A and B are shown apart, each in its own frame.
Chain A
Amino acid sequence: MNLLEVKGLTKRYPGFTLDNVSFTIEPGYIMGFIGRNGAGKTTTMKSMLNLIKKDGGEVLFDGIDYIANEKRCKQQIGFVNGEFNCYSRSKLKTLVNVTKRFYDEWDDELYSHFMKRFSLDENKKVSELSAGMRVKFALVLALSHNAKLLILDEPTSGLDPISRDDLLDVFRSIISDGERSILFSTHIISDLEKCADMITYIKNGRIFASTDIESFKSGYLLVSGDEEALNDLLPRLIGVKKHAFGFTGLIRAEDEEFAAGCRTAPADLESIMIYIEQEDADEKSAL
């Protein structure tokens, strides 16, 4: 059974529509949620959690309707909305003392473990924490109640490379029992390539792809060549960048035969995203 099933999620704003967003997460997986700024990642996450009133669609958590069972579902979900930005004058231990009362499965040992692992001092006030430490504290709150699903909006932004790497190890260990899953959005694509199994790519409020990373990456190829080859290949290129020695671009793997005179290489996630968004901006026609 899917741990999370999002079906036809829709939210309309003047000038932006989150349009019929659907994807699923099975237990035991890490799913990266990617897209440009303003593509709808945070709106999707908040609509899923009823922090934003959705205009349509359905969210099933562990097979049950989220809205009808909001309290029950939230007991098993950990949500991090970037850095912790509430009650700046309060001490961390005060906030924890309040938060833990709401969770049936709060684990003090787990809490102490993560506080120590992230080098957080519970006697400090929120205002005394750096941006990175605030993200870590938000993560501690989300990780300490044995959540089955972690929904993390930009959890690695603001963290130093060592902390990010450590956090990705934490993510892997959380899902290792095969019962928990993580959905996290990030702009640091290298983090996804290190630990995510699946990606959901949202573009202009619509799901562009939701699949495992390797299948997604194998669907594209990076291609480079001289200017003469560019003219032949242009109709097949998803995105292209010209430079002094010719061009570099992205094609679908199925179009490899049209790139016979060019160099091709496996595409990485970041390049795919950049070229696909470039296509959207219609920069290709400007060339």
Chain B
Amino acid sequence: MKNLLYKEYRLCMQPMVFIFFGFVLMLLIPNYLYTIPCFFIGNAIFNSFQYAVSDNDSLFTAMLPVAKRDVVKSKLIFIVSIQLIMLLLYIPMIALNNAIMTEGNKAGIDACPALLGSCFVLFGIFNVTFLPSFYKTGYKTGKSFLISTIAVFIWIFLSEGFFVAAVAARNAVPFFEWIETHIDCVPKEASAWAAQLIYLAAGALIYVLLTVITDKKASKAFDLVNV
């Protein structure tokens, strides 16, 4: 596992990934969809896969003393590491956002711990749509990225739209009022912290489940591919 990750970072990490990490600064834009920077990480992964295909990366990895399914695992741990780094970068940006902006986010979920839960789900959806599709051939990056982009944007619009609706209808619907005071807010009280941490944990759990499914589906697909 350690050697595979080392291989990914030494041979497959593209400088573009660092540029896409910079998109975390979008959390300082007032009234914005704060899950969008995570979509750009999908762009970074897509970019690195394009290079990997032209570099015959799968053949190189498959020729190393690893099992064929480790070719997929190698890429998956690389992706997961990039996604977790992005979420770590979110933490100071959320704090900075809260320090600069006193009013909530009208375009979607506020910059708060619950946002990380939404981002976890987004990454899980990206993984489960991009990788199994890619490993059906081992070279079709464009089609796989298109599928994952559609799936990710459906999640962005549904989740962010939910919080926009909650802001609009908070006075009319008690459930939305609870959402606005517990999930879609900067948590101050213990009950809001608890609700947001549960939301975050649920998001992380979905991410883990979707990533495990990704591993199984992508490995099964790649097993049939001629390297």
A261→B56 CA distance, assembly (Å): 58
Judged by a CB distance under 8 angstroms, whether B3 is at the interface is yes
The answer to whether B96 has its CB under 8 Å from any CB of chain A is no
Which one, A72, A79, A89, A94, contacts B63 given CB within 8 A? A79
In chain A, positions 227-246 with a C-beta closer than 8 Å to chain B are: none
- Cα distance, A26 to B56, chains bound together (Å): 33
Interface size on B, as a range, is 20 to 34
B55 contacts A87, C-beta separation under 8 Å: yes
- For A90-103 the 0/1 string (1 means CB < 8 A from B) is 10001101110111
Residues of B within 8 A of A86 (CB): 55-57, 59-60
Q: In the bound complex, do residue A50 and residue B68 qualify as a contact, i.e. CB atoms below 8 Å apart? A: yes
- Given A90-B11, A98-B10 in contact, is the A51-B66 Cβ separation under 8 Å? no
Q: How far is the CA of A87 from the CA of B55 in the complex (A)?
A: 5
B14-53 CB mask vs A (1 if < 8 Å, else 0) is 0000000000000000000000000000000000000000
A12 at the interface (CB under 8 A from B): no
The answer to whether the Cβ of B209 comes within 8 Å of any Cβ in the partner chain is: no
How distant is B48 from chain A, measured CB to nearest CB, in Å? 13
The answer, yes or no, to whether A53 is at the interface (CB within 8 Å) is yes
Q: Is the CB of A102 within 8 A of B227?
A: no
Bound Cα distance from A86 to B51, whole angstroms: 11
With a cutoff of 8 Å between Cβ atoms, the chain B residues found around residue A157 in the complex are none
- Bound-complex Cα distance A95 to B63 (A): 13
Q: Which residues of B contact A164 (CB under 8 A)?
A: none
Known pairs A85-B56, A86-B55, A86-B60; A98 contacts B11 (CB<8 A): yes
Residues of A within 8 A of B227 (CB): 46, 51-52
Q: Does A70 contact B (CB under 8 A)?
A: yes
Cα A79 to Cα B66 with chains together (Å): 13
Residues of chain B from 173 to 227 with CB closer than 8 A to chain A in the complex = 223-227
* B6 contacts A98, C-beta separation under 8 Å: yes
Q: Mark B45-79, 1 if CB is under 8 A from A, else 0.
A: 00000000001110110111111100000000000
- In the assembled complex, A252 has its CB within 8 A of some CB on chain B: no
Contacting residues, chain B, for A210 (C-beta < 8 A): none
Q: Report the minimal beta-carbon distance from B135 to chain A, rounded to whole angstroms.
A: 13
Known: A81-B59, A98-B10, A101-B6. A71 touches B226 (CB 8 A): no
Which residue of A86, A90, A103 has the most chain B CB atoms within 10 A of its CB atom?
A: A86
A71: which of B57, B59, B60, B67 is its contact (CB, 8 Å)?
Answer: B67
* B136 within 8 Å of A (CB atoms): no
Residue B7 interfacial (CB < 8 Å): yes
A173 adjacent to chain B (CB < 8 Å): no
Using a CB–CB cutoff of 8 Å, the interface residues on chain B facing chain A are 3, 6-7, 10-11, 55-57, 59-60, 62-68, 223-227
Which 5 residue pairs spanning A and B have beta carbons closest together?
A74-B65, A86-B60, A51-B227, A86-B56, A52-B226
The chain A residues found within 8 Å of chain B, CB to CB, are 46, 49-53, 70-72, 74-75, 79, 81, 85-90, 94-95, 97-99, 101-103
> What are some 24 contacts across the A-B interface (CB < 8 A)?
A46-B226, A46-B227, A51-B68, A51-B227, A52-B227, A53-B226, A70-B68, A71-B66, A71-B67, A75-B65, A79-B63, A81-B59, A81-B63, A85-B56, A86-B59, A87-B56, A94-B10, A94-B11, A98-B6, A98-B7, A98-B11, A101-B3, A101-B6, A103-B65
Extra contacts, 4 of them, besides A90-B11, A103-B65 (Cβ < 8 A), are A50-B68, A51-B227, A88-B55, A99-B64
